[in-house]
Structure 1
Amino acid sequence: MNPYPVVCDLVAKKIFLDTRDLKEWKRTCNHRSRLVTPYSKKELILKDINNVLALLKVSHLEIYDASEVKSIWQGENKETGINGEFIDSELVIFKVHPRSPAENLGFKKGDVIVSINGEQPSSWSVENEGGDYQIHRGPEEFTIKMIPGTVHRDDSMHVTTIGKNARLLEIPSFRADFFKGSALKTVAADLKGASTVVVDLRGNAGGNFVAGLRLLSMFICEPTEIGKLVKPKSTAKTKSLMPNDLDDVRQLAVLEANHEVVLKTFKQEGCFAGAVKVLVDGKSSSVAEMVAQGLKEFRKSPVRGTPSRGQLLVGVWYPIDEIAQGVQISIPEALYVSAKGRRIEGQGVELEKTLYYNLPEMQAGIDSWVKSFLD
């Protein structure tokens, strides 16, 4: 079955954009359906649909194959276990995931990847490609043969002591799994005795809105309205409070029933009253940006790093079985507005200071961005 009519109609009906602004796009979308034949490969159809969706220039609008859906929701994928970034034209390893192929082969944070299979490496290739990795480590240069494998990423919160009275709170994800039960109590206990906390949201692509509210409740000590979700196409004119419930289905039910959903922090034991500082980068998006903006507005937290992605809409997922079992599309149906009226979509979180990594420090295992808050 040709998936284009289903996708074009569903997006036009559900997306938060004004229907009048979608007429030309919908014509283009439906026109692409003529190119589909019984022999069209799934991968090409997915790529072409995403190209059509990209014409609308909004976040959270994308179609995913079953394997990509599994990676997003379960943190599981075939990859190397390496995260790297360019510093002064050198690709430096920032993180080696535990129990990954990279850790098993002896890759280390601070290693410089000179080439992969004789070619210039990229941030994408070091995460996904196998082959011969030429490595520069201190005075040594050597080659490691990489075979990607299944990596179960541990994206739970992690607290590290970085000074006498300072702690680094790394939050790789706002997936609901990591904000259940005693997880927040454990973090609160680890922050005791500190006068400063650096909240590290680098690489955090977001997740569950209530997970973000629970995190903010650790630092905003009284229940506070930090923003709202607005659904322009809602036929309802009511508004409601987002309940303290991590269940995505229940959150979407509240959004479905209302024009506006108020996001308010919760009363929580062990609230941290000291100084809070925030790090973001170009991969920080969605709920991570909501949290950074909330800390900036209500804790006067300095936000440093590089501009965040400016992608803060509410994406609702729908199956597209017309392409294949497990294929899903995310459609943005609501937008976020902070308590002080800032829209993150297309803008990102306003930075106090742009930071640059220091190559010698990173090669020595010193995080120069974290260090900027301690100097």
Structure 2
Amino acid sequence: MTNAAKSSTIATMIRHRDLAIRLAAALLVCLSGACAPRLTLPKETGAVFSTDSATEVFTAGYSSISEKYIDTISLAVIALEGMRGLSTIDPGLTVSRRQNTIILTDNDRVVARFPAPRDNDARKWAALTVEISTAAGVASKQLRAASNEMLYEAVFDGMLSNLDVFSRYAGVEEARKNRAKRQGFGGVGIRFKLKRGQFRVTFVMPNTPAASNGIKKGDIITHIGQVPVKGLRASEVGAQLRGPIGSRVTLTVRRLGQAGPLTFEIERAHIVGVTVVLSERNGIVFLRVTGFNKNTALSMASKLKKAKKMLGAKIKGLVLDLRGNPGGLLKQSIRVADLFLAQGQIIRTRGRHPDSIQHYEASGPDLVTGAPLVVLVDGKSASAAEIVAAALQDRGRAVVIGTSSFGKGTVQTVIRLPNGGEITLTWSRLITPSGYALHGLGVMPAVCTSGANGGERELIDEALKARMKTSTLIEAWRKADIENKSQRKGLRASCPAERRKRSVEVEVASRLIGNRSLYNRALSLTSAVDAAWH
């Protein structure tokens, strides 16, 4: 493969990977490592990296990938691919192996030769990566001009680009943002939208500094501190609102009906985004779940208790709306499923590393004591959302309505690197209670709404009339070979994955909950009577 082709291939794979990440958030298990300060480049010496620090970073990356990745992979192969990633900075650079020699060339001119380390020696391959980068920096203007982060990104993207679309590297700043999404951040507790040059508050989270200080929905932000926000990007305003927990920020707003501006001095607090929204209609409780962060299960339990207190015996049933939910934290999805199950398996994970092999069981109690439950999914319901849907369907606890879900059935572990960056690495597959692998398949609904714009009665009738066909399809779904991609693709085509925002799924759910006989018949379509408990 030519240098240009190699560089183009890596860039294309990275674009595909980034698209998949946007479509389905990685299902995460977090591991921490040691932290070290950001590297400082001694540019005057011509060195590209601070040798010891960079060696530690690459050693941590290489050893983690070779030990934890879901499939067996040669450490020497990933290290070589990592070094070849330097060509994304300077396409003239090539790294190749001839027997036991690693050769660096610049536009077909040999720059340096190095002996290849033993295939399983992570530290030696890490040291060689630093040597290759340093030698390349002498030959390449582009590499000398590149920051440490650009070099780390080039190497790690090179080694990860040939694995799978969910394995990726995040630099120091991106990793910090990722951790904030997973764990929360220091902020004031508002959401805002930029429209016609104005930053309007669209939501004030309850029990946050913004709420307790009197910020209201509809307020227009004019200044943060002494800085006017006019002309700023939304990301810049968001960054100024965030800061260390306990630090203070001054917010100036305009409010309809007030003659002049209002100024608030607010102390930032730990903010974890709202992921569960409760509503009620005609005795049916609707719980919309937009993601799975560290507070999702606790928030759902709280809202269920609130609904029970509000409606008591008048609760007819519940609708768990997971449409458009990209997933999130593995253990939160397990805890959410556990809220509706008294006992039995929820999910199991299977990978190569011993720590990736886990079995998760429900501990009960069912907080709504067997009340009718419907789960809504669509083509953007992924990972953690699919765990909940599959567990409740397989255990005969819920009727699933919608389209085939996304089919993101792998678990990623997050490896913190000494430079403050992190690797998100695929390390296990999700196996549902009935025994099928979610990846590339997803969850099949009992009532398919693909392409439907209305007619909830017809959709239910059609599903019930096709009972034998559905049973055969479900059996094939649960026995599908993980390696047979064409078979899995064909099964998904029986109810094509779509993004669904229409009300038809809600209407189908309401009709089923309102008619217990219909509900029970729909429930029996996909309950895993002969579940493969392993």
Shared fold per TM-score greater than 0.5: yes
Q: Which residue of structure 1 lines up, in the alignment, with residue 160 of structure 2?
A: 53
Using the TM superposition, give the Cα deviation of residue 288 of structure 1 relative to its aligned residue in structure 2, in angstroms: 1.6
The secondary structure found in structure 1 opposite 2:334 is helix
Which has more strand, going by share of residues? 1
Q: Which residue of structure 2 lines up, in the alignment, with residue 319 of structure 1?
A: 416
Asked if structure 2 preserves the Cα contact closer than 8 Å seen for 1:355 and 1:369, the reply is no
1:74 partner letter:
Q
1:13 partner letter:
E
Bigger radius of gyration = 2
Using the TM superposition, give the Cα deviation of residue 103 of structure 1 relative to its aligned residue in structure 2, in angstroms: 5.2
In 1: Cα distance, 2:186 partner to 2:70 partner: 31
Q: 1:346-374 CA distances to partner (integer Å, 9 max, x unpaired)?
A: 2222234245697xxxxxx9855434433
Q: Which residue of structure 1 lines up, in the alignment, with residue 323 of structure 2?
A: 202
5 Å matches for 1:45-124?
45=151, 48=154, 49-50=156-157, 52-59=159-166, 61-64=168-171, 65-76=174-185, 81=192, 97-98=203-204, 104=218
Asked if structure 2 preserves the Cα contact closer than 8 Å seen for 1:293 and 1:338, the reply is yes
Q: 1:183-208 CA distances to partner (integer Å, 9 max, x unpaired)?
A: 61541441543222110123433334
1:209 partner letter:
L
Are positions 1:303 and 2:394 aligned together? no
> After alignment, is 54-63 or 287-296 more displaced?
54-63
Using the TM superposition, give the Cα deviation of residue 287 of structure 1 relative to its aligned residue in structure 2, in angstroms: 1.9
In 2: Cα distance, 1:175 partner to 1:190 partner: 22
Q: Work out the number of aligned pairs and report it.
A: 291
Using the TM superposition, give the Cα deviation of residue 223 of structure 1 relative to its aligned residue in structure 2, in angstroms: 1.0
Q: Which residue of structure 2 lines up, in the alignment, with residue 232 of structure 1?
A: 352
Shift in alpha-carbon separation, 1:157–1:23, aligned structure 2, 3 A:
same
1 or 2 for the larger relative contact order (CA 8 Å, sep ≥6)? Answer: 1
Q: Which residue of structure 2 lines up, in the alignment, with residue 155 of structure 1?
A: 274
Shift in alpha-carbon separation, 1:286–1:330, aligned structure 2, 3 A:
same
Q: Which residue of structure 2 lines up, in the alignment, with residue 133 of structure 1?
A: none
Shift in alpha-carbon separation, 1:308–1:97, aligned structure 2, 3 A:
farther
Shift in alpha-carbon separation, 1:212–1:80, aligned structure 2, 3 A:
closer
Are positions 1:176 and 2:273 aligned together? no
Q: 1:102-132 CA distances to partner (integer Å, 9 max, x unpaired)?
A: 95468xxxxxxxxxx9xxxxxxxx98699xx
> After alignment, is 295-304 or 33-42 more displaced?
33-42
Shift in alpha-carbon separation, 1:357–1:271, aligned structure 2, 3 A:
same
In 2: Cα distance, 1:173 partner to 1:206 partner: 5
1:328 partner letter:
E
Asked if structure 2 preserves the Cα contact closer than 8 Å seen for 1:225 and 1:265, the reply is yes
5 Å matches for 1:212-361?
212-220=333-341, 222-234=342-354, 256=355, 260-268=357-365, 270-299=367-396, 301-322=398-419, 326-351=420-445, 352-355=447-450
Superposition RMSD in Å: 4.1
The secondary structure found in structure 2 opposite 1:187 is helix
Q: Which residue of structure 1 lines up, in the alignment, with residue 67 of structure 2?
A: 13
The secondary structure found in structure 2 opposite 1:19 is coil
1:373 partner letter:
A
Q: 1:209-265 CA distances to partner (integer Å, 9 max, x unpaired)?
A: 333233222322x2111331123233xxxxxxxxxxxxxxxxxxxxx3xx6321111
Q: 1:159-203 CA distances to partner (integer Å, 9 max, x unpaired)?
A: 2103x13111122233233434x8615414415432221101234
Shift in alpha-carbon separation, 1:269–1:330, aligned structure 2, 3 A:
same
Which has more helix, going by share of residues? 2
1:41 aligned residue (141, 147, 154): 147
Using the TM superposition, give the Cα deviation of residue 51 of structure 1 relative to its aligned residue in structure 2, in angstroms: 6.4
In 2: Cα distance, 1:284 partner to 1:129 partner: 30
In 2: Cα distance, 1:279 partner to 1:316 partner: 28
Shift in alpha-carbon separation, 1:308–1:61, aligned structure 2, 3 A:
farther
Asked if structure 2 preserves the Cα contact closer than 8 Å seen for 1:82 and 1:102, the reply is no
Shift in alpha-carbon separation, 1:102–1:327, aligned structure 2, 3 A:
farther
Q: 1:25-75 CA distances to partner (integer Å, 9 max, x unpaired)?
A: 553223226577353236645664446524322535443523322332234
Shift in alpha-carbon separation, 1:308–1:8, aligned structure 2, 3 A:
farther
1:195 partner letter:
K
User: Which blocks of at least 5 consecutive residues in structure 2 are unaligned?
Assistant: 1-48, 86-128, 138-142, 195-201, 221-230, 238-267, 454-500, 512-534
In 2: Cα distance, 1:51 partner to 1:165 partner: 54
Using the TM superposition, give the Cα deviation of residue 300 of structure 1 relative to its aligned residue in structure 2, in angstroms: 5.5
Asked if structure 1 preserves the Cα contact closer than 8 Å seen for 2:64 and 2:415, the reply is no
Q: 1:280-337 CA distances to partner (integer Å, 9 max, x unpaired)?
A: 2444322221001111111363333454332233322222234xxx322222222211
1:166 partner letter:
I
In 2: Cα distance, 1:339 partner to 1:281 partner: 21
Asked if structure 2 preserves the Cα contact closer than 8 Å seen for 1:157 and 1:187, the reply is no
Asked if structure 1 preserves the Cα contact closer than 8 Å seen for 2:191 and 2:204, the reply is no
1:167 aligned residue (258, 270, 285): 285
In 2: Cα distance, 1:46 partner to 1:308 partner: 35
5 Å matches for 1:113-152?
none
